[in-house]
Amino acid sequence: MKAVILVGGLGTRLRPLTLNTPKSMVPVLNTPFLELVLRRLSGFGVDEAVFALSHLAPTIESYFGNGSALGIDIKYVIESSPLGTAGAARNALGHIHNACLVMNGDIFTSLDITAMKECHARHNAKVTIALTKVDNPCAYGLVETTPDGRVRHFLEKPSPQEITTDLINAGTYIVEPDVLTDIPPDTVTSFERDIFPSLLASGKPMYSFTDNNYWIDIGTPAKYHQLNRDLLLNNTSPEFLAKQGRPGVHPTARLEGPVLLGEGCSVGEGVVISGPTIIGRECHLGPGAIVSDAVIWHNVTFGAGCCIESSVIGNNCTLGPSCRLSECIVGERVTLPSDYCQTGGQIWPGLA
């Protein structure tokens, strides 16, 4: 099966983490997010992928190449300007000859793709939309269905008074090629606001697929942090945590709870790391540093006595001795002076 993955977004809500890193490439469990997605899709028989790119496209192309390392044939289509979700998929039409999976590149889900394909074929649908349940649907697009799963109504970002279901569009679709053929080339077009309502109005068969799957949109720092927590807490076997090894850890250092430590790290005397915490490659923690409930990217240096909790820190940062950060999002290449203290908010390069 072929997948079209929409990875052209600017990642605005994740800034400053996405100033130099595409949203789809932010590290999750020390691995680019998009790689985790591809490995999961491969398990469902997806052997070809088309990346619809725009922002920071060379970063993605240089990492994945032709996909041979993952056993997936990868092609790239690049937008000169954003075309919307359906316009971006239409841009990949030259690579699409059968029903294909189309998914937003900022979604992580345990969705059963095989069962979704079977649902699509059984109903002879033009489009099958994955749905998921959420506690607060107001930020999403509601999808009302008949008892047999046929889509009957869409409502984008409803007010609390308009909520009729807790099922939302989960950003993953199976689409027949002629749905894309009908989209004019190089035209800004949205699946959610243009294509799906039009198909519904014309009476063409659109069905939903719902299972009790894990689903999260990593578009905000809080959700991104939550995905790292969730996956680490569900992968706490000794074999998983030992994959990247723990050389360079001082005998007096304490690693408590699930902690994933990248290759080439050094952990100094008296350091305490409390999980769920993920620390990337080539990070250096000075004596007495304390890190808890954090996601640390690669090549980050912590001065002696730093205290970091519930924060995300981007690549190539340097934190001076006795820095204290709580609930902060720190962009890449930030240098903080000794005794710097901040609770909450973002820290951009050059602004600390």
Helix (H, G, I), strand (E, B) or coil at 249: strand
Q: Which H/E stretch holds residue 217?
A: strand 215-217
pLDDT > 90? residue 162: no
173 and 63 assigned to the same domain? yes
CATH of the domain at 57: 3.90.550.10
Is residue 352 one of the residues assigned to a domain?
no
Query: Can you say how many angstroms the Cα of residue 77 is from the centroid of all Cα atoms in its chain?
Result: 20
Percent of the chain at pLDDT > 90 equals 59
Which of 211, 232, 253 is the last residue before a domain boundary? 232
Per-residue model confidence as pLDDT tens digits over 100-151: 999 998 999 989 999 999 999 999 999 999 998 887 777 777 888 898 999 9
Stretch 18-23: mean pLDDT? 89
Query: Looking at the domain assignment, is residue 155 inside a domain?
Result: yes
Q: Residue 53 — φ and ψ, nearest 5°? A: -115, 160
pLDDT tens per residue, range 215-249: 998 989 999 999 999 999 886 555 455 444 467 89
279 and 174 together in one domain: no
**What pLDDT does 10 receive?**
73
29 and 164 housed in the same domain: yes
- Evaluate the CA torsion angle 2, 75, 227, 19 in order and state its sign: negative
pLDDT of residue 97: 87
Enumerate the β-bridge partners of residue 266: 284
Q: Measure the CA–CA gap between 222 and 122, rounded to whole angstroms.
A: 38
Residues 15, 125, single domain; the answer is yes
Question: What's the pLDDT at 242?
Answer: 47
**Shared-domain flag, residues 167 and 68:** yes
CATH of the domain at 285: 2.160.10.10
Query: Does 240 lie in the same domain as 228?
Result: no
What span, in angstroms and rounded, lies between the C-alpha atoms of 124 and 107?
26
Count the domains in the chain. 2
216 with 188, same domain?
Answer: yes
| 233-290 pLDDT, tens digit each | 886 555 455 444 467 899 999 998 899 999 999 999 999 999 899 999 999 999 999 9
Is 293 part of a structural domain of the chain?
yes
Under DSSP, is residue 314 helix (H, G, I), strand (E, B) or coil?
coil
Pair (129, 272) in one structural domain: no
218 exposure class (CB count in 10 Å sphere: 0-12, 13-18, 19+): buried
What is the domain extent for residue 298?
Answer: 236-347
- For residue 56, pLDDT over 80 is answered with no
pLDDT of residue 321: 97
Mean pLDDT (whole number) for 18-33: 92
pLDDT at residue 64 is higher than 70: yes
What is the mean pLDDT of the segment spanning 57-78? 91
- Both 66 and 215 in one domain: the answer is yes
> How far apart, in whole angstroms, are the C-alpha atoms of residue 149 and residue 131?
10
Based on the fold, state whether residues 219 and 139 are members of the same structural domain. Answer: yes
Residue where a domain terminates, one of 185, 214, 232: 232
